[in-house]
Amino acid sequence: MAANDYLSELKNWRQEADEVYRQPRSWLTLAGLYWLETGDNRFGTAADNDIALPEGSATAHIGHFAFDGESVRAVIAPGVEAMVEGEPVDEVDMQPDVSGEPTYLYTGRLILVAIVRGERFGIRVWDTEHPALQAFTGRTWFPPDEAYRLQARFEPYDPPHKTHFANMVGQEIEVEIAGALVFELHGQQHQLEALPVSEGLFVVFKDATSQTSTYPAGRYLVTDEPEDGKVVLDFNKAYNPPCAVTPYATCTLPPPQNVLTIAIEAGEKYHGEH
């Protein structure tokens, strides 16, 4: 790819990354994550609810989430307006995020969904008028540097390895490792293990810049599918996990084998607290 073509493509990619944050249901608009207890979990903006939602965002007492340890059902209080797929509901089974077709419950200016993390069920909440959305002026990036756009050798694991990655809420999540990406940078050979995703390979990594200019817990990178055993590994597209902008995400953390000792001064920066 010609240099000008690459820079134009990268600029568009980064603009699209900003647009992801500007959506009503984005990581920036997250307003809460509440783990459910077995039984009825009352929710609304009043302080006496089990799930006390942001003040002024919806009705004081919306209803309750009935949780039996395996499934969640939203029961809406009489006279309260709540919608699913544009239709009013009194009760609805909350299909969780891991189902592939989650149920999004709209009420007031909020959107609520059930999530599953390991054996825990929770309710994630977005506020479509979140102050962080109004304040967002765009992500901050290192200048493009084609030296960080590398060709890596993909070494598939046959069969894929099963292992556990830690997440930000202290859980160990079983994942499948597709293989290793082997590359040279700064005169040395390095390796990162990658997970399979629909669009290619997903890498969770950390490098020496996490102590100075990038998110301390690490960054993410998605590649295209390998071709002829090769993968383009473009660190100019390395981006921060959701936990960099919200305390209500459950981000996967890099495993020890994906912690690099070199500094990768490419991709997204971080200006929060280290």
pLDDT one-digit tens code per residue, 73-124: 999 999 999 999 999 999 999 999 999 999 999 999 999 999 999 889 999 9
**pLDDT confidence of residue 91:** 97
Amino acid at 253: L
Residues carrying CATH 2.60.200.20, the chain: 30-134
**pLDDT confidence of residue 36:** 98
Percentage of the residues of the chain whose pLDDT score is greater than 70: 99
The answer to whether 201 and 181 are in contact (CB under 8 A) is yes
d(CA 6, CA 145): 10
**pLDDT confidence of residue 1:** 64
Percentage of the residues of the chain whose pLDDT score is greater than 90: 89
pLDDT tier at 260 (50, 70, 90 boundaries)?
Answer: very high
pLDDT one-digit tens code per residue, 138-170: 999 999 999 999 999 999 999 999 999 998 888
The answer to whether 205 and 258 are in contact (CB under 8 A) is yes
pLDDT tier at 259 (50, 70, 90 boundaries)?
Answer: very high
pLDDT one-digit tens code per residue, 186-224: 999 999 999 999 889 999 999 999 999 999 999 999 999
Q: Which CATH class is domain 30-134?
A: mainly beta
pLDDT one-digit tens code per residue, 233-246: 999 999 999 999 99
For residue 130, pLDDT over 90 is answered with: yes
For residue 5, pLDDT over 80 is answered with: yes
For residue 38, pLDDT over 90 is answered with: yes
> Closest Cα partner for 80 from 120, 49, 101?
49
